[in-house]
């Protein structure tokens, strides 16, 4: 079935409509787990949606991360919220959870399961995102069937322990200069004050954790970020 997050229709893989659909939903991508939140994850997600996020990734990582039943139950609750508001719900690095929940897609890094495998197991009617840190990794991800790329870290981040060296907007520019048109989000240390160069470099949006999840007012934070992005898109 090609219906995702409740009743949205994901256009067929390989079509221009599919690419446009993904691109539009990358403009403000919230990535989050319970560890990143200063209030309940459900409250943060609801406020972030009210503030204008366009996609959500459940990323439950780190020493304090939920496990087992609690991990699955939080995922279900966040997925419900996403469905109600027609926001795609993507699972970070856990194909089995994505299949169990019938999530809208999976995002994998370079050290996770290969993107080819994820695409094969999910089929064409789900979203596959891949983290890429270079032109070579980007090209491989595209060949493997990625719908979009996450490129980072653009700026220093406190949210990922094993983050690669900071690359600024260089890799994003390089991808675009080399003619790659795949939808791209910049990630890593992005906030309303430094988002503009990411979009100007050729990204279709930004993915953030702390700028929204750790904000005192997530709705306000999302809204301010969205304003900046839309202005430069
Ligand atoms: N991936 P924040 S950086 C999850 O470079 C993640 O691929 C990165 O969190 C990458 O917005 C990162 O708080 C953390 O900096 C992003």
Q: 209: Cβ below 6 Å to ligand 1?
A: yes
Q: 8: Cβ below 6 Å to ligand 1?
A: no
Q: Give the model confidence (pLDDT) of 138-164 as tens digits.
A: 999 999 999 999 999 999 999 998 999
Residue of 159, 161, 198, 229 with the most ligand 1 atoms within 8 Å of its CB, for mutation:
159
Interhelix angle 218-232/41-51, rounded to 10 degrees, is 40
Does the annotation place 134 within a ligand binding site?
A: no
Q: Is residue 10 reached through a cis peptide bond, with omega within 30 degrees of 0 on the bond before it?
A: no
Distance 95 CA to ligand 1 centre (A): 20
The pLDDT of residue 207 is above 70: yes
Count Cβ atoms within 10 A of the Cβ of residue 69 and give its class: 0-12 exposed, 13-18 middle, 19 or more buried: exposed
Position 4 confidence tier, pLDDT thresholds 50, 70, 90: confident
Nearest CA to ligand 1 atom 3: 188
Q: 208: Cβ below 6 Å to ligand 1?
A: yes
Q: What is the 3 state secondary structure string of the chain?
A: CCEECCCEECCCCCCHHHHHHHHHHCCEEEEECHHHCCCCHHHHHHHHHHHCCCEEEECCCCCCCCCHHHHHHHHHHHHHHHHHCCCCEEEECCHHHHHHHCCCEEEECCCCCCHHHHHHHHCCCCEEEEEECCHHHHHHHHHCCCCEEEECCCCCCCCCCCCCCCCCCHHHHHHHHCCCCCCEEEECCCCCCCCHHHHHCCCCEEEECHHHHCCCCHHHHHHHHHHHHHHHC
Q: Please indicate whether residue 160 is annotated as part of the active site.
A: yes
Does the annotation place 18 within a ligand binding site?
A: no
Q: 205: Cβ below 6 Å to ligand 1?
A: no
Active-site residue, selected from the candidate residues 59, 119, 167, 226: 59
Tokens describing residue 218 = 């997530």
Position 5 confidence tier, pLDDT thresholds 50, 70, 90: confident
Say if strands 55-58 and 28-32 run parallel, antiparallel, or are unpaired: parallel
187, 17 contact by CB (below 8 A): no
Global pTM? 0.98
What span, in angstroms and rounded, lies between the C-alpha atoms of 155 and 201? 14
Q: 159: Cβ below 6 Å to ligand 1?
A: yes
What's the chain's average pLDDT? Answer: 96
Interface predicted TM-score of the whole assembly (ipTM), two decimals: 0.99
Determine the atom of ligand 1 nearest the C-alpha atom of 150: 7
Q: Give the model confidence (pLDDT) of 51-96 as tens digits.
A: 999 999 999 999 999 999 999 999 999 999 999 999 999 999 999 9
Distance 160 CA to ligand 1 centre (A): 6
Q: Give the model confidence (pLDDT) of 166-199 as tens digits.
A: 999 999 999 999 999 999 999 999 999 999 999 9
Determine the atom of ligand 1 nearest the C-alpha atom of 153: 5
Determine the atom of ligand 1 nearest the C-alpha atom of 31: 4
> How confident is the model at residue 11, as a pLDDT?
95
């Amino acid at each position: 079935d090609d219906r995702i997050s409740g009743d949205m229709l994901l256009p067929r893989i390989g079509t221009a409509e599919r690419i446009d659909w993904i691109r539009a939903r990358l403009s403000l991508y919230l990535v989050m787990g319970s560890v990143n939140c200063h209030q309940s994850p459900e409250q943060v997600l609801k406020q972030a949606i009210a503030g204008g996020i366009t996609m959500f990734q459940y990323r439950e990582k780190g020493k304090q991360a939920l496990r087992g039943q609690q991990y699955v139950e939080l995922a279900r609750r966040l997925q419900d919220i996403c469905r109600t508001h027609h926001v795609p719900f993507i699972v970070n690095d856990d194909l089995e959870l994505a299949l169990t929940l019938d999530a809208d897609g999976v995002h994998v890094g370079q050290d996770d399961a290969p993107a080819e495998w994820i695409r094969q197991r999910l089929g064409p009617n789900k979203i596959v995102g891949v983290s890429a840190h270079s032109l070579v990794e980007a090209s491989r991800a595209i060949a493997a069937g990625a719908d979009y790329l996450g490129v980072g870290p653009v700026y220093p981040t406190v949210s990922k322990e094993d983050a690669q060296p900071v690359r600024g907007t260089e890799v994003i520019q390089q991808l675009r200069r080399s003619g790659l048109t795949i939808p791209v989000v910049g990630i890593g240390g992005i906030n309303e004050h430094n988002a503009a160069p990411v979009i100007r470099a050729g990204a279709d949006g930004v993915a953030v954790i702390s700028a929204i999840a750790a904000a005192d007012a997530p709705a306000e934070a999302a809204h301010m970020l969205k304003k900046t992005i839309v202005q430069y898109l």
